[in-house]
Chains A and B, each alone.
Chain A
C-alpha cells in the first residue's frame, strides 16, 4: 500500500509539473513572438521629431495658414496662484524656528510665515510687471489670464476627484472620505502658458531672467498662423443704390476672412487617437498616428485636408545596448492650394458686412417683418464657369476667432448661425433661381416644347384662384396680375410661376427629382469640406416622410423651387455654372490638390434649349420687364446691375422660408408661447457675367440673404457689388 501511495504522489507531482510545462510551452511557442517583441522593445528608446503642418495658400499663392515657430512663456501653477510665496516663507520660517516649531500653535505659525512673506511677494510682483511689460498686455488682461488658468485647473481637479470618488464608492460600496480622493492633479504642479506665441526677442528677454524669477518657462512651440485673417478693405460706394451712394470710399475692417472655409485647430480628441493611434499593438508605432496634445484641424479645409496637411513625425530610435541611432526624418505636411482668391473673398466679405449697408434692412427692401437697419446675413459664392473653381465663398455672420485656452461661447443655438458655413452647410429652398434649369429639364425630357408658350391666367388650375398662384396674383390683396401667353424666355425673364408649375406638372415628381439629381441637387457636391450637406429632395426609393412624397402637388411646387426641395447655395451655383457652360455639369473645386477628383457629365441639353434659358436670364437683367433689371426706389428706378462693359444675365429668387422660432420645449414644432425669430422669404440672386467678345459667361455669382425678402431688391444690389469687386480684382 505504501508503494501505491508513493506512486500516487509521484503521479500527482508529475501532473502538476506537466501543467507548468504546458504553460511554458504556451509562453514560449504560442505567445513567444509577442513576448520577444515586447522584451526587445525596451532595448530601444524613441525620441519623436516634430513635423510642420503644411500651409494653405490661395489661388495666387498667398499664405492663408501656416505653422510658425514661436515661444510660449509659461509659469508654474503654484506661482500663478501665489502659493509659491507662502511655501517659500514657510520654508524659511521653519528653518529659523526649527527647534520651537512643533510647539507653536497654528496661528503663531501663520503670523511668522506672514512676516517672512514680503520679499517673495515682491519677487512675484516683479515677474508679473515684467510679463506686462515684455508681453505688451494690460495688467488686467494678465490677471484675467491667470484667473482663466486657475479656473480651468480647479475644474480639472474637481473632475478628477469626482471620478476617483465614484470609482472608490463602487469599489468599497460605501461613502468615501475626502482625503481618499483629494490628490494633487498634474495641472496643479505643471506650468501654464500666460503669454502664448511670443516672438524671439520677447522670449530672449525672459530667458535671461529664467534663474531670477520663480517657475518661469520659455517653451519652444509653433503656432498656426492665419496671416490673411484680418484685412482692411476699401470699397467704392459710387455704384450703390442712391440711398447709400457716396463719392467717398469706405474702409471696412474685416476679421476672420475665410474662417469658415479654412477652419482652425484643436487638440486631438480620444476619437482621433482611436481612429489612428500612435501606439499599435504588435508592431512599431505609426508615426502619423495621434498622440494626446496633437493638433488637429477643426472644420473647413484644415479638417478636410488633415491627412495631407498633417505631415509625418520623425523619430530617433536609439538602441540602448549598442548605442546605434536610427533616424527617420520627419516629413513636413503638403501644401494645400485653394481656388479661392483671398482678396476677392475679403472684398465680398466686406460687401456683406452690415456696416457697408446692403446687408441691413433698407427702405427699398419692402421687408415688413424686421425694422429698418436690422443686420441681414447669408451666403455668397463666386464660381469660375470654365473650371468650376470656387473663387470666393462667404458666409455671414462670422464667429469670433478661437483663442488658445480661452473658453469659446456656445453659438450653436444662435439664430444667425455664425458657426455654419452657409454656402455648403445650410439648406434653403432655391425658389425661382432654378426656373431656367427647370425649363431645361422639362424641355430635355420632352415635357415641354423647346419654344412652347404657356398662358398665365394668374393661377394654374381653372376655378381655383387661390391654389398654385403666380406671384402677381393675390386676390386677398386685390392684385390680379396675369402674364398671358409667355415664351420660355419671357417666362424666365418675368419669373412666371405658372409656366414652371406647368413644367413641374408635366414632368411629374419622379422625373423632376431625377433631373434635379442630374443637375447636382440633393447630394453633397464634393468640395471635400466636412461641413457639406446633401440638401433635401423627395427620395426616389424607400418612401418619404409626410409632405415630401413623390406626388403631383410636390412636382408642381418643385417646378418653382419650392415644396420638398432645400439645397445649400453651392448647388445652385454649380447648376447655374453648368447652364452657363452650355449644359455640361462639372463638380466644383475648392481644393486644387483634389483636381483629379473633379468629375463632369453632359446634361443632354440641346443648344437651342440652353440658348433659350440663357436668353431668358439675359432678358431678365436687361429688359425693363425683367425681375433682375431694376430697383424701384422712392427716387425712381435704377438699374440693378450697373457694371459697364459686360454682358450680364440674372435670375432672382424669393423663396418662402420656414418660420424660425425658439423651440423652448424642443419638440421641433412652433407652439403658442414660443417666440418667432425669423419669418418671411429668403432672398436669392443669381448672375452670370460674360466678358465682351467671349462666347459664354466667365463667372457665376450666387447671393442668398436669409429672410431678406425680395430677391431682386435685397440680394440684387449685393450681387451687383460683387460684379464690381470682380472688376476691382482684375477678373472683368
Chain B
C-alpha cells in the first residue's frame, strides 16, 4: 500500500471540491432513482446504486493514487489494449456468451462476474493517450499538425460507431476540440475544421439507421409543435417533456411525482430520462440546482487544470471535464426536447454501475492530478506568446 500517495490524495486540495460536488449529485441521483417507477423485478435499484457508489468511490481512490507520470507512461499501452477490446467486439464468430448482441448492437463484453462496455473505457483512455501525444508538442499549431490528433480520435470513434453506439462515439469530437483548444491550437484552424465537419453533416444523414432518422424527425416535429408523432417515435421525448414541465416551479414532491411518472409510463425514467424525474419531483428549482452542481463540478475541474503545471495532467483534466460536460448536455438536451433521443446516461445521477464507475474513474484522475504539488522546476506549458495568434 502506497501510504504516501494516499496521504497526498487526502490532503486538502481543489480535487476535493470535485469529489464533494460529485457526491452531492450522486445523492440527488439516489433520491431520483427512488422516485422513478421501475418494474418490481428490477429489485431495489436504489440500494444497488448506493452499493455501486461505494464501489465507485473505492475505484476513484485507487485511480487517484498513481502519480500522473505513471498514468502518462501507461496511457499508450492502455490505448492499445482498449483498441484490441473494441476490435474484439467487432470480430466475427465471437461466442454470444462473451459478446452478446443486445438490440442488434455488440457493445458489451462479459467477463466472469462483470459485464462492461469497452467504449466507456475507451473515452477515458482516449483522453489519456491524446494528452500524452500533445503534451510536449507544438506542431498542432499548424494545420498539418492537426492531422495526427484527428487520426488518434477517429480510430476509436470509428470502431465504436460500428458497434453501433452513435451516442458514445459523438463524445470524442468535443473532447478533441476542447483539448486542442486548451493546448493552444489556433482557433481559426479549429473553427475551419468545425465548419467543414458541420457542412458534411447533412451528407451523413442518409447513412443513419432508420430509427435514428425517426428520432431526428420526431425531435424536429416536436419542436415545431406537431403532435402527430407523440404516440410513436416521439413518445419518449413527449413523455419526458411533459413530465419535466409538469413539475412547474417547485415540483410535485416524492409521492405525487411517483404517481405521475408511473401513469405517464416515462420510459427509462431511472436511467436516461432521470432528469425528467428530477424536474417532476423538485420542479424548476431542482433542475436548476442539478445544472448548477454540474457547472460547479466543471468549473472546479477546470480550476484543477488551471492550478496544475504538468502539461499531461492539464490536458487530461480538460478532456475529462469535456466528457462530463458533453454527457450532461446531450442527456439533458434530449430530455428537455432540444436534441434527438440517443442512449446517453446523465453522469453520476442515472442508474447504472458502469456509468457510475466510469465517471468516478474520471474524477479519480482529476483528484490524482490535483493532489500532486507542482515540481519546482516545471516549465509553464502551452504558453505560446505569439501575439495576435491565439
For B322, B336, B337, which residue has the most chain A Cβ atoms within 10 angstroms?
A: B336
Interface residues of B in 272-306 (CB under 8 A from A): 279-280, 283-284, 287-288, 291, 294-295, 298-299, 302, 305-306
B336 x A13 contact (CB < 8 A): no
Set of chain A residues within 8 Å of B12, measured between Cβ atoms: none
Chain B nearest Cβ from A681, distance in angstroms:
60
Interface residues of A in 574-589 (CB under 8 A from B): none
Query: Contact string, A18-45, partner B, CB cutoff 8 A, digits 1/0?
Result: 0111011101110111111011101100
Set of chain B residues within 8 Å of A595, measured between Cβ atoms: none
Set of chain B residues within 8 Å of A33, measured between Cβ atoms: 248
B242 x A39 contact (CB < 8 A): yes
B260 x A27 contact (CB < 8 A): no
Chain B nearest Cβ from A28, distance in angstroms:
4
Q: Counting CB contacts under 8 A, is A8 at the interface?
A: yes
Binds A, one of B20-28, B127-135, B164-172, B324-332: B324-332
B244 x A24 contact (CB < 8 A): yes
Out of B178, B245, B264, B295, which one reaches A32, CB within 8 Å?
A: B245
Query: Contact string, B234-252, partner A, CB cutoff 8 A, digits 1/0?
Result: 0000000111111111000
Name the CB-closest residue of B to A25. B284
Out of B245, B321, B328, B329, which one reaches A27, CB within 8 Å?
A: B245
A23 x B245 contact (CB < 8 A): no
Out of B260, B288, B380, B383, which one reaches A21, CB within 8 Å?
A: B288
Out of B283, B287, B295, B383, which one reaches A2, CB within 8 Å?
A: B383
A43 x B259 contact (CB < 8 A): yes
B291 x A24 contact (CB < 8 A): yes
Chain B: interface residue count, which band? Answer: 35 or more
Set of chain B residues within 8 Å of A238, measured between Cβ atoms: none
Known contacts A14-B295, A23-B336, A43-B260: A1-B181 contact under CB 8 Å: no
Interface residues of B in 219-268 (CB under 8 A from A): 241-249, 259-260, 263-265
B314 x A2 contact (CB < 8 A): yes
Q: Counting CB contacts under 8 A, is B40 at the interface?
A: no
Alpha-carbon distance A589/B380, docked complex (angstroms): 101
B184 x A20 contact (CB < 8 A): no
Set of chain B residues within 8 Å of A320, measured between Cβ atoms: 263
B383 x A29 contact (CB < 8 A): no
- Which secondary structure dominates chain B's binding surface? helix
B246 x A10 contact (CB < 8 A): no
Chain A nearest Cβ from B165, distance in angstroms:
23
Chain A nearest Cβ from B310, distance in angstroms:
12
B328 x A17 contact (CB < 8 A): yes
Set of chain A residues within 8 Å of B314, measured between Cβ atoms: 2
Q: Counting CB contacts under 8 A, is A694 at the interface?
A: no
Alpha-carbon distance A25/B291, docked complex (angstroms): 12
Set of chain B residues within 8 Å of A4, measured between Cβ atoms: 390
Q: Counting CB contacts under 8 A, is B147 at the interface?
A: no
Q: Counting CB contacts under 8 A, is B381 at the interface?
A: yes
Alpha-carbon distance A9/B305, docked complex (angstroms): 12
Set of chain A residues within 8 Å of B382, measured between Cβ atoms: 1-2, 5
A20 x B248 contact (CB < 8 A): no
Q: Counting CB contacts under 8 A, is B385 at the interface?
A: yes
Name the CB-closest residue of A to B325. A13
A9 x B242 contact (CB < 8 A): no
Alpha-carbon distance A36/B248, docked complex (angstroms): 8
Name the CB-closest residue of A to B245. A35
Alpha-carbon distance A42/B264, docked complex (angstroms): 6
Set of chain A residues within 8 Å of B105, measured between Cβ atoms: none
Q: Counting CB contacts under 8 A, is B77 at the interface?
A: no
A38 x B242 contact (CB < 8 A): yes
Chain B nearest Cβ from A714, distance in angstroms:
62
Name the CB-closest residue of A to B178. A9
B279 x A28 contact (CB < 8 A): yes
Set of chain B residues within 8 Å of A38, measured between Cβ atoms: 242, 246
Q: Counting CB contacts under 8 A, is B145 at the interface?
A: no
Out of B178, B243, B264, B336, which one reaches A24, CB within 8 Å?
A: B336
Name the CB-closest residue of B to A43. B263
Q: Counting CB contacts under 8 A, is B122 at the interface?
A: no
Q: Which residues of A contact B (CB under 8 A)?
A: 1-6, 8-10, 13-14, 16-17, 19-21, 23-25, 27-29, 31-36, 38-40, 42-43, 320-321
15 A/B residue pairs, CB under 8 Å, sorted by A: A1-B383, A2-B184, A2-B306, A2-B314, A6-B182, A6-B318, A9-B318, A13-B295, A17-B295, A20-B329, A25-B284, A27-B244, A27-B336, A32-B248, A39-B242
Leading 7 A-B pairs by shortest Cβ distance: A35-B245, A39-B246, A27-B245, A32-B248, A28-B284, A36-B246, A2-B382
